[in-house]
Structure 1
Amino acid sequence: MKFNEKLLEIIVCPECKVELKLVKDGKGLKCEQCKRVYPIDENGIPHLLLEEAVVEE
């Protein structure tokens, strides 16, 4: 199942409280402020837990 991009209008980074961007491969949501990427599972559900995020530059 694909991530519903309409959710980007209402969800924010749990750490910074800024909007998230869908990463190119569609398997994560990235915060441009803290550089965390939150995974999206195979059912299209984003996991917005700090301990599941990966910090990328």
Structure 2
Amino acid sequence: MDAKLLEILVCPICKGPLFHDKSKQELICRADRLAFAVKDGIPVMLESEARELPADEEVGS
């Protein structure tokens, strides 16, 4: 994931910052506890496609 792109991308719901989980290839919004998939280097920023993070799932830093 390009660092410049990551700097300008925000959560489509709350407009908050996103964390890139390289191991899972996801962009994570900690505030909304949603994970957006990155497919072939392209973030899928649709709320309907986001994965809800369970309460017990650790969110990296």
What's the TM-score, normalizing by structure 2? 0.79
Structure 1 runs of 4+ aligned residues shifted over 3 Å read none
* Aligned mates of 1:48, 1:24 — CA distance in 2: 16
Rg bigger for which structure? 2
User: Which moves more between the two structures, 43-52 or 24-33?
Assistant: 24-33
Aligned AA (1:40)? V
Aligned counterpart in structure 2 of residue 22 of structure 1, from 3, 20, 23: 20
Question: Which secondary structure state, in structure 2, belongs to the residue aligned with residue 29 of structure 1?
Answer: strand
- Structure with the larger RCO, 1 or 2 (CA within 8 Å, 6+ apart): 1
Matched, 1:49 2:35: no
Instruction: Kindly state the Cα deviation for residue 27 of structure 1 after the two structures are TM-superposed.
Output: 0.7
The residue number in structure 1 matching 2:59 is none
For structure 2, list consecutive stretches of 5 or more residues without a partner in the other structure.
Answer: 56-61
Over residues 15-37 of structure 1, what are the superposed CA-to-partner deviations in whole Å (9 max), with x where a residue is unaligned? 01001000141510000100100
Higher strand share: 2
Assess if the C-alpha contact under 8 Å between 1:8 and 1:19 holds in 2: no
**TM-score normalised by length of structure 1:** 0.84
> Pairwise CA RMSD of aligned residues?
1.2
Aligned residues: 54
